[in-house]
Amino acid sequence: MVMWIAVTVVKLLIYFAILMLFVAYGTLAERKVAGHIQDRLGPYHCGPHGVLQPLADGLKLFFKEDIVASEADKFLYFLAPALAVVPPLLVLGIIPIGESITIAGKTIPLPIANINVAVLYFLGVTSLSVYAIMLGGWSGNSKYPLLGGLRSAAQFISYELVLGLSIIGVVMLVGSFNLVDIVKYQKDMWLFIKQPVAFVAYMVAAIAELNRAPFDLPEAESELVGGYHTEYSSMKFALFFLGEYANMVVSSAIATALFLGGWYAPCSFLSFIPGPVWFLLKTFALFFFMLWIRWTYPRLRYDQLMGMCWKYLIPITLFNILGTGLVVILKAGGV
Amino acid sequence: MYQHISPYIPVFILFVIALAFGTVTLLVAWLVRPNAPYDEKLSPYECGINPLMPGKVNVPIRFFVIILLFLLFDVEAVFMYPWAVMYEKLGWWGFIEMFLFIVILLVGYIYAWAKGALEWE
């Protein structure tokens, strides 16, 4: 028991370190990718090619003065950024980075918590993000954050539906909520080949849930100044951003497990590379994809955004469920 | 190995760490940062002028409609999850049942669309 808890804590620390590294260099990657897409260099002065930039940014944000707007609700104002980092860290526990590892003759399973309702857990926990955004927008006693928070909440819950409905197709094929089972199912063929519609719907919903361009209406700079974190400064502002990037990382990781074959190598002759490396590579590829989208497409209008969700994605995902059902049954019937 | 220990214990540890992370970071920042407030600095942001109206403005009723629709569809999605897990065992009857369920749902959906609940002016 003591041994087991020690192993769990060590695993937690390693996963946490990987996530924080991913997040820190995600911010740098964002600026570098943005720079190169726009034919600039991006951050260049802190260390060679700017590799120390995340460190410099972090230190700077620690030493910045924190401005709490007058008439702000002090407790909620403090609570919102602290809550913003909770959902992605909770999802971290179910990410199946690999199946198991053998150290000194003992087999240790790699996921921190191999729970059998992992998909439901993921959906439930990510939907908590909306509280941080809503509270952050409301507590500042200012108009821009309030409107940004409201928009964000409406957008978030709409796309939450698409996210949930898109995963149902995968669950139908696999017959399990357990992410390890779902990855094992993809040993021969990745699920995005069998569920292309679900994959596209998942990615669109994930990007929209994260309030990232082209769906970044809640923080549309040109009309809402800074959105729900207009009134936030210093470390509180940093925590919102940390939460956002951590959310991007865990959404990419879950998409990797659900659709991109998790820890399996794309071709059998590449399987000498260990599974966790593949998992991280695929996660980074999806992360890069999100950055790429952001710096390539212009922002949608709000009515287009909500219309796309309610008028296109929800019917499409519903028909995807029916179509998947029909195919599964015809195959089982031997037709 | 360790099958008898609940897999939710790590989740609980993670929850404690997650809450502690945000709080501790904010407390450390509170210890090291400067603090020199004055009235103009603390006023809510309004493009540089003094705030004109109270911060808590009325919000459009459209958002409420979206919440209602969400509630409806989310309950339906919850109903679909256990069905999806057991799908292969349910066979044709499972498919027909879900087909009817989705058809009934789509009737409500089309009604909402026709009434303009999905439009955003």
Evaluate if residue B27 carries a pLDDT over 70: yes
Domain at B61, CATH number: 1.20.58.1610
Distance (Å, rounded) from C-alpha A35 to C-alpha A32?
5
Phi and psi at A195, nearest 5°, equal -125, 60
Distance (Å, rounded) from C-alpha B74 to C-alpha B97?
18
Q: Is residue B1 part of a domain?
A: no
Distance (Å, rounded) from C-alpha A108 to C-alpha B2?
10
Contacting residues of B for A11, CB less than 8 Å apart:
10
> Looking at the partner chain, which of A160, A175, A318 has a beta carbon nearest the beta carbon of B85?
A175
Nearest CA in chain A to B56: A141
Evaluate if residue B51 carries a pLDDT over 80: no
Evaluate if residue B55 carries a pLDDT over 70: no
Q: Is residue B3 part of a domain?
A: no
CB contact under 8 A, A63 and B17: no
Q: Which residue's structure tokens are 């970071």?
A: B25
> Looking at the partner chain, which of A93, A140, A322 has a beta carbon nearest the beta carbon of B44?
A140
Q: Is residue B60 part of a domain?
A: yes
- Bridge partners of A108, per DSSP, are A101
Domain that holds residue B38: 8-114
Contacting residues of A for B120, CB less than 8 Å apart:
302-303, 306-307
pLDDT number for residue B5 = 64
The amino acid occupying position B36 is A
Q: How would residue B2 be classed by pLDDT, with cut points 50, 70 and 90? A: low
Q: Which structure tokens are listed for A96?
A: 């199946």
CA nearest neighbour of A83 among A146, A126, A112, A118: A126
The amino acid occupying position A157 is I
pLDDT number for residue A274 = 81
Contacting residues of B for A140, CB less than 8 Å apart:
44, 55
A contact test, residue of B81, B92, B95, B96 with most A CBs within 10 A: B81
Q: Is residue B55 part of a domain?
A: yes
Supply the DSSP string of A195-211, one letter for each residue.
-HHHHHHHHHHHHHHTT
CB contact under 8 A, B42 and A68: yes
Distance (Å, rounded) from C-alpha A125 to C-alpha A122?
5
In eight-state DSSP terms, residue A45 is S
pLDDT number for residue B121 = 66
B contact test, residue of A61, A156, A312, A321 with most B CBs within 10 A: A321
CB A86 within 8 A of CB A128: yes
Q: Is residue B91 part of a domain?
A: yes
pLDDT number for residue A334 = 53
Q: Which residue's structure tokens are 């959310």?
A: A247
Min Cα distance B35 → chain A (Å) is 6
* Among the ranges given (A256-260, A324-328, B15-19, B33-37), the one the predictor scored with the smallest mean pLDDT: B33-37
In eight-state DSSP terms, residue A281 is H
CB A241 within 8 A of CB A54: no
- Residue B28 CB contacts under 8 Å (≥ 6 apart), including other chains: A62, A235
Contacting residues of B for A61, CB less than 8 Å apart:
29
Q: Is residue B94 part of a domain?
A: yes
CB contact under 8 A, A160 and B74: yes
Q: Can you give B15-78 as a three-state secondary structure string?
A: HHHHHHHHHHHHHHHHHHCCCCCCHHHHCCCCCCCCCCCCCCCCCCCHHHHHHHHHHHHHHHHH
CB contact under 8 A, A144 and B45: yes
Query: For chain A, which ranges sit under pLDDT 70?
Result: 105, 218, 220-222, 333-335
Distance (Å, rounded) from C-alpha A217 to C-alpha A307?
14
Tally of domains in chain B = 1
Nearest CA in chain B to A121: B11
Helix, strand or coil, per DSSP, at residue A94 = helix
The amino acid occupying position B121 is E
| Cis peptide bond N-terminal to A266, omega within 30 | no
- Bridge partners of A100, per DSSP, are A109
Q: Is residue B121 part of a domain?
A: no
- Residue A267 CB contacts under 8 Å (≥ 6 apart), including other chains: none
Q: How would residue B34 be classed by pLDDT, with cut points 50, 70 and 90? A: confident
ipTM for this model: 0.83
Q: Exposed, middle or buried by CB within 10 Å (0-12, 13-18, 19+), for A181?
A: middle
pLDDT number for residue A107 = 73
Q: Is residue B119 part of a domain?
A: no
Helix, strand or coil, per DSSP, at residue A249 = helix
CA nearest neighbour of B67 among A228, A215, A160: A160
Distance (Å, rounded) from C-alpha B97 to C-alpha A28?
50
Across A300-304, B99-103, B114-118, which has the greatest mean pLDDT? B99-103
- For chain A, give every domain's residue range: 67-100+112-332
